[in-house]
């Protein structure tokens, strides 16, 4: 099974993200937009995993201690790829980056230490984001928009599979925050 560790969002936040994506959609030549039900923020991409590895990954997540935190969305951006740009929404001031990186670092380190293949300690900088479109050609420059926020109180182990030609993400395990709320 293909796994990743993610933050999931409420339907209200997903609708707000879709509204931002619509502004991009009407101004590009082409691109593949993320389905509303698949909008999430990946903390760690694990990749193809066995059932035994699933148990280890679940245990690593279970042993993480973190406080609820607030994620801010107020800008778009993109990463360049060969097929076109990957567009995302995130935080222009990167206020939540340190908290998300602090949450992510022990996950990556512990998964790597546990021998989970495919998980590598990053050499580059982690950019927290929610992908809204892939393989985008044409379009506009990134823009900012009025902030919206989501309080995150759990991290999820997700499975990705192709069902009837569509990518479907399923929550396999949820780990709740276990200390005071952190607002930034």
pLDDT tens, N- to C-terminus, the chain (184 residues): 999 999 999 999 999 999 999 999 999 999 999 999 999 999 999 999 999 999 999 999 999 999 998 999 999 999 998 999 999 999 987 766 778 888 999 999 999 999 997 776 555 678 899 999 999 998 789 999 999 999 999 999 999 999 999 999 999 999 999 865 444 3
d(CA 159, CA 116): 16
Question: Can you list the alpha helix ranges (DSSP code H) found in the chain?
Answer: 11-25, 51-62, 97-113
| Reported pTM | 0.90
Among 59, 54, 16, 51, which residue's Cα sits nearest to residue 36? 16
Domain residues of the chain, as ranges?
Answer: 2-176
The CATH number, out of the four listed (3.90.1140.10, 3.30.70.270, 3.30.70.3270, 3.90.1520.10), of the domain defined by the range 2-176? 3.90.1140.10
Query: Rg (Cα) of the chain, in Å, rounded?
Result: 16
In this structure, are strands 166-176 and 154-163 parallel, antiparallel, or unpaired?
Answer: antiparallel
């Amino acid at each position: 099974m293909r796994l990743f560790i993610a933050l999931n969002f409420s339907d209200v936040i997903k609708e707000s993200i879709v509204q931002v994506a619509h502004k991009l959609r009407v101004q590009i030549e082409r691109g593949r937009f993320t389905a509303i039900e698949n909008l999430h923020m990946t903390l760690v991409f694990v990749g193809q995993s066995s059932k035994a590895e699933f148990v280890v990954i679940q245990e690593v997540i279970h042993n993480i201690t973190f406080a609820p935190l607030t994620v801010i969305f107020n800008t778009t951006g993109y990463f360049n790829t060969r097929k076109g740009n990957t567009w995302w929404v995130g935080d222009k001031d990167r206020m939540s980056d340190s908290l998300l990186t602090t949450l992510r670092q022990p996950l990556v380190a512990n998964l790597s230490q546990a021998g989970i293949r495919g998980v590598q300690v990053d050499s580059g900088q982690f950019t927290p984001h929610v992908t809204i479109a892939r393989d985008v050609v044409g379009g506009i420059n990134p823009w900012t928009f009025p902030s919206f926020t989501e309080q995150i109180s759990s991290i999820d182990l997700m499975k990705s599979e192709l069902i009837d030609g569509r990518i479907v993400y399923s929550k396999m395990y949820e780990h709740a925050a276990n200390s005071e709320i952190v607002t930034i």
